[in-house]
Amino acid sequence: MKLISVAIDGPAGSGKSSVSKIVASQVQYLYIDTGAMYRAVTLALQEAQVDICDEVAVERMLAQSEISLNREAAGYKVYLNGRDVTTAIRTPIVSDQVSSVAALGVVRRKMVELQRQMAAGGGVILDGRDIGTVVLPQAELKIFLTASVEARAKRRFAEYQQQGEAITLDAVIENIKARDYQDSHREIAPLTCADDAIIVDNSNLSLEETATYIIKLIKEKQA
């Protein structure tokens, strides 16, 4: 059996990370949530009140920030300089600024380098916006996972409600639309479907149905 690299790209709330976690645990691959890395950088910059237009200050902060992704008994955890920031990186405050931070060349260069190091060796699933186009253009399987704006916003809204975040559905729709636009129109590595990606619209599919389909595709490629 051949270990392959799997790229899952798509817009906010399309199910990339939830589906990737299920798939990775079923096929025993390493899962790398690249969005979590951009979120952790955003949190580090916000906490230190760094002006993101100040490239030197951003670069300094990047050099001081150690980001790690760990799979633990309690689930996937994100650490920033040894501190568990898994919950802190998912707040609306981070969501509002992350696309601006992710548009910075200095940030992307560092993240892409780290992601390629983590993915070396194969047997990996990376989810994000530019995995199939930039990070791993040689990935054996590329999925572009999408869903309608309404379906994606409702899913995110339900998560915020569970966390007790005071936010309206309209505000979530606005954030999702704004990030879709910003992520698709930035100069460096914009969100776009790779030519050789398989488009999966899961607006009307459950997580399990989506994961089952992707697992089938992985098994075909591994054979």
- Does position 146 interact with ligand CDP (CB under 6 A)? The reply is no
Binding mask 10-49 for ligand CDP (x = CB under 6 A): x-xxxxxxx---------------xxx-xx----------
Minimum distance from residue 100 beta carbon to ligand CDP (Å): 8
Burial of 6 (0-12, 13-18, 19+ CB in 10 A): buried
122 is in an annotated binding site: no
Q: From residue 60, how far is each of 107, 109, 136 by CA, in Å?
A: 11, 14, 27
Q: Determine the interface stretch with ligand CDP among 58-66, 67-75, 79-87, 151-159 (rule: CB under 6 A).
A: 151-159
How many of the chain's residues bind ligand CDP (CB under 6 A)?
Answer: 30
Rounded Cα–Cα distance for residues 38 and 107 (Å): 8
16 is in an annotated binding site: yes
CA dihedral for 197, 188, 64, 94, sign (positive or negative): negative
Rounded Cα–Cα distance for residues 188 and 143 (Å): 20
The pair of structure tokens assigned to 55 is 């490239």
- Does position 155 interact with ligand CDP (CB under 6 A)? The reply is yes
Q: Report the residue from 202, 214, 217, 218 that binds ligand CDP according to the rule CB under 6 A.
A: 202
- Give the distance, in angstroms, between the CA of residue 167 and the centroid of all CA atoms in the same chain: 22
User: H-helix or E-strand containing 84?
Assistant: strand 83-84
124-128/75-80 β-pairing: unpaired
Q: Report the residue from 205, 212, 213, 215 that binds ligand CDP according to the rule CB under 6 A.
A: 205
Task: Show binding-site residues.
Answer: 10-18
Task: Show binding-site residues for ATP.
Answer: 10-18
Question: Binding residues for ligand CDP, per CB under 6 A?
Answer: 10, 12-18, 34-36, 38-39, 98-99, 102, 128-131, 155-156, 159, 179, 183, 202, 205-207, 210
